[in-house]
Amino acid sequence: MASNRLRNQHLLWRAAFGPMAENVAQLEDISQKKLWELLIKTSKKAPEKLQVSTGLVDGLVKGIGDAATMAQISAEEKKKMRREKRKQYKDELNNLNLMWLDEMINSEAQLREKMSLFWHGHFATRVINSYFQQELLQVIRTNALGSFANLLHEVSKSPTMLQFLNNQQNRKSHPNENFAREVMELFTMGRGNYTETDVKEAARAFTGWGFNAQGEFVFRKQAHDTGVKTILGKTGNFDGDDVLDIILEHPQTAYFITKKIYRYFVNEEAPEERIKGLAARFQKNEYNILKLLEEIYTSPWFYDDENIGAKIKSPVELLVGIRRYLPMELDNDMAQLLFEKMLGQILFYPPNVAGWPGGRSWIDSSSLMLRLQVPQVYTAKEAVSLRPKNDDDVNMGMNTEKIVRIERNKAYVNKGGAADIKWDLINSAFEKTSRPALTDAIMDTLLQTKSRINKNIFEPYLDDSSRENYIKSAVINLMSTPEYQMC
């Protein structure tokens, strides 16, 4: 049976982003119930908006000029203006990315931010417009622990989603099925639980849903199909909100969302009967997300050995978890964007509308080697060359030439170290641990897996010149193992 500390660390890695150095000692005695109550309490306050853009004004016309002005300038000038606007959006998205990472690392609202990361991947969008992404993120963070029904309605009306899935072009004369299809297939029911006719009829109901130049949802009556539609066995003069309500009434929606949450937060192996029971109660509780999470995190089976250390950390979970345990000031915050890119998870840049597949897809031969290097980079004494492929669509506006220049200037890692780490907080966590017991204590704090590193092989590589150096080298080396990639 897992120790109390291990069970608490399990809860913190799944419901949050792992423990902080200054509070790991408290995990020996606190109960899982008390820790869960603390996670809820610290996430109750409504989140402050992470703001990088004050408004859209006139969409892409902002910074380009009105129609009359545009008519007077050359095609080349228009192209240049649009290129400059695109760069501005990328810069703002980079800032939004870093601001959200900082919340994940430092905010007390760990439960909310962790659940927001899940919904960010569930409602995946890849839109360069920073204002749209900013507003969608606020919707997600505000509703992350509330009602899935409310979250679904609000996300579906966000300009980000409507633009990404082409519903701005969905009119009664030429219905566009993309939005309706993805709502059913990826956001609510899953493939195989609706018919092509359901998609076509739902698309008719969503006609007229769009957004204006200020980035606000609008319902364009003249573009809406007012005819009778039949969707999932129900017939009526439905609009988009009606379709979402019909989908939410279907038991398959509760099952689909519950199973996805279970596989993300508990184990990819999801017992059928357990999922059915959780889903039935999820729907009965009017899609209350927090109640579903509470049932999961307070159930004895959540702490079964088979669920502890069974999940591969996503790149964001890995990066945030390292920085939570190693309190630090980075020489260059932009390094985190480079890590995201090379590890395969850039916030606001999912690979497609299905989001990041997760699980074993996070690991291949090259990504594993880089994962093992991350802690070393943060504490390196010399520059480490990290050079991604030159794919500017997902390069955050940083081209290869710029990245090479950063490396040459040692902006990421310099002779003083890539980061100023507050080792005193980490050392204090082990101040009551005897020297012979140090290795085991540090392993118990950092590793969630049943397997342990062979101490006879591991210890000779550690710096034994002082107690502090021993702890430092043990922490960094353990974070650089395959076992640390699991939680």
Helix (H, G, I), strand (E, B) or coil at 217: strand
Share of the chain above pLDDT 90, in %: 80
Helix (H, G, I), strand (E, B) or coil at 413: coil
Task: Write the pLDDT tens digit of every residue in 131-171.
Answer: 999 999 999 999 999 999 999 999 999 999 999 999 999 99
Query: What angle is formed at CA 387 by the lines to CA 385 and CA 390, rounded to 5 degrees?
Result: 165
Residue 331's pLDDT is what? 84
User: Two tokens at 254?
Assistant: 């509760």
Instruction: Find out whether 43 and 293 touch, Cβ atoms under 8 Å.
Output: no
What pTM value is reported for the model? Answer: 0.91
- Residue 31 pLDDT class (50, 70, 90 cuts): very high
Task: Write the pLDDT tens digit of every residue in 72-98.
Answer: 677 777 677 777 778 888 999 999 999
Q: Return the residue matching tokens 């980035």.
A: 215
Q: Which residues contact 350 (CB under 8 A, 6 or more apart)?
A: 121, 124, 125, 126, 356
Task: Write the pLDDT tens digit of every residue in 218-274.
Answer: 999 999 999 999 999 999 999 999 999 999 999 999 999 999 999 999 999 999 999
- Closest C-alpha to 179, from 150, 149, 151, 210: 210
Find the length of the chain: 487
As a whole number of angstroms, the distance between CA 218 and CA 212 comes to 6
Helix (H, G, I), strand (E, B) or coil at 456: helix
Residue 417's pLDDT is what? 38
Share of the chain above pLDDT 70, in %: 89
Q: How far apart are the first and last CA of the chain?
A: 17
Alpha-carbon torsion (332, 333, 337, 339), positive or negative: positive
**CA distance readout (Å), 4 to 1, 8, 292:** 9, 6, 23
pLDDT reading at 308 higher than 60: yes
Instruction: Find out whether 127 and 133 touch, Cβ atoms under 8 Å.
Output: yes
Instruction: Find out whether 222 and 230 touch, Cβ atoms under 8 Å.
Output: no
As a whole number of angstroms, the distance between CA 476 and CA 423 comes to 11
Q: Return the residue matching tokens 């920085």.
A: 323
Q: Which residues contact 47 (CB under 8 A, 6 or more apart)?
A: 103, 109, 112, 138, 141, 142
As a whole number of angstroms, the distance between CA 11 and CA 8 comes to 5
- Residue 344 pLDDT class (50, 70, 90 cuts): very high
Instruction: Find out whether 296 and 272 touch, Cβ atoms under 8 Å.
Output: no
Instruction: Find out whether 126 and 132 touch, Cβ atoms under 8 Å.
Output: no
Determine which helix (DSSP H) or strand (DSSP E) holds 75, and give its type and residue range. Answer: helix 75-106
CA–centroid distance for 221 within its chain: 36
Instruction: Find out whether 161 and 96 touch, Cβ atoms under 8 Å.
Output: no
As a whole number of angstroms, the distance between CA 3 and CA 183 comes to 42
**CA distance readout (Å), 167 to 156, 211, 247, 388:** 10, 9, 18, 34
**CA distance readout (Å), 172 to 209, 226, 281:** 11, 9, 38
As a whole number of angstroms, the distance between CA 58 and CA 327 comes to 42
Instruction: Determine how many CB atoms are found less than 10 A away from the CB of residue 422.
Output: 14
Helix (H, G, I), strand (E, B) or coil at 234: strand
pLDDT (mean) for 272-298: 98
Instruction: Find out whether 400 and 352 touch, Cβ atoms under 8 Å.
Output: no
- Residue 388 pLDDT class (50, 70, 90 cuts): low
Average predicted confidence (pLDDT) for the chain = 90
